[in-house]
Amino acid sequence: MQLTFYVASSIAIVATVMVISRHNIIHALLYLVVSFMAIAVVFYIIGAPFMAALEMIIYAGAIVVLIIFVIMMLNLRAEEVEQERQWLSRGILIGPAILSIILLGELLYILTTGEISGSNYQTVDPKAVGMSLYGPYVIGVELSGILLMSGIVGAYHLGRQKKKIVHRFLEQVEE
């Protein structure tokens, strides 16, 4: 039990360091998904399966889709798209794939042996999570929603400004 916890937390740390150290946002995003999956495994191991599900749905799902949406909204030029294709080779998928396979093996081991049910951990039910989020932490939840919305609006305006600059440049070149 402790070994699976330490392996999952080590993968989370390694993947998070890789997120910080990548220069390409798509590469960082791949490692971010692995980091979220590792944290979800840690939640599951310590007896919080509902929090593990929330981690996967909210963070690995919604936040990553939001980041991809913002990247698409910035409307990259054809040269940048081609450069992105070159960066996203099969070789870059090896690191996240290995870490994900290790996490999958751990999760299958835990599910088949049933180690969690015989442990001394207390499970967290959805009602307790909801009471916590919309009780004393309601301001934090609402502020994070406002922060995400302002990020989308900011990315939209950056994308519009970039388009205007490109159009002005193309008009000057044509003259």
CA dihedral (95, 101, 107, 109) positive or negative: negative
Q: State how many domains the chain has.
A: 2
Three-state SS for 174?
helix
Task: Mark whether 64 and 92 lie in a shared domain.
Answer: yes
Task: State the SS3 of 26-61.
Answer: HHHHHHHHHHHHHHHHHHHHCCCHHHHHHHHHHHHH
Query: Would you write out the chain's pLDDT as a tens digit for each of its 175 residues?
Result: 688 888 999 999 999 988 888 877 778 888 888 898 899 888 888 877 888 888 888 887 777 777 777 676 666 566 666 666 666 677 777 888 888 888 888 888 877 886 655 456 666 777 877 787 788 878 887 888 888 788 777 777 776 666 666 667 667 777 6
Task: Mark whether 31 and 109 lie in a shared domain.
Answer: yes
Task: Mark whether 33 and 114 lie in a shared domain.
Answer: yes
Instruction: For residue 134, give its domain range.
Output: 125-175
Task: Mark whether 96 and 132 lie in a shared domain.
Answer: no
Task: Mark whether 98 and 53 lie in a shared domain.
Answer: yes
